Amino acid sequence: MLFASVHPKAPHGEYPANSEKLLQALDFGLQRETPLLNPQILLKMASSSSKIRAFELQSKSKQDLLEQLHELKTELSSLRVQKIAGGSASKLTKINTVRKSIARVLTVINQKQRQNLREFYKKSKYTPLDLRYKKTRAIRRRLSEKEASAITVKQHKKNIHFPARKIALKA
């Protein structure tokens, strides 16, 4: 639903007027490019046998993430072939870690994409339905704090001219 129309009443599949900027936001165009400086982390990431950590993936670009995803998927398919061929037990247990690593990479890609889309739609009047906060139906429909605290001019004048009486009790 990321490509859904901005306005809830508009026809589905319609792109906003500035679709180039939207596509740039989807492509992580707004994110910073910071290389990993720690050599131990680089060595860990180079060996696919170790468990992938989400915080290490946060600093990667979209292209790097997609490459890593492709590598993990090919590794998973080769592990599944080895499983059928009767591979060792260590290879069979590795399938689970590779599956979880794929899920982590996909999660980071999705998080970055949604974060950039939120940044993109921050200034616009309408945001896509899937980027809006969920809460509950009742909370979404209730009055805002400003609307709830609004009073009429007549009531405001009453409050000013006839304030609540303060009574002091003798102990």
**Domain presence at residue 134:** yes
Please tell me the predicted confidence (pLDDT) of residue 68. 95
**Domain presence at residue 50:** yes
Lowest mean pLDDT among 27-31, 56-60, 86-90: 27-31
**Domain presence at residue 165:** no
**Domain presence at residue 154:** no
Residue 4: C-alpha distances to residues 9, 24, 115, 126, 131 (Å): 11, 16, 16, 12, 11
Structural contact between residues 94 and 72, judged by C-beta atoms closer than 8 angstroms: no
Structural contact between residues 51 and 101, judged by C-beta atoms closer than 8 angstroms: yes
**Domain presence at residue 147:** no
Please count the other Cβ atoms lying within 10 Å of the Cβ belonging to residue 160: 8
**Domain presence at residue 5:** no
Give the number of domains in the chain: 1
**Domain presence at residue 4:** no
Please tell me the predicted confidence (pLDDT) of residue 156. 98
Lowest mean pLDDT among 20-34, 106-120, 130-144: 20-34
Whole-angstrom Cα distance, residue 33 to residue 136?
A: 37
Determine the structural domain holding residue 120 and report its residue range: 19-141
**Domain presence at residue 90:** yes
**pLDDT tens digits, residue range 73-120?**
999 999 999 888 887 777 888 999 999 999 999 999 999 999 999 999
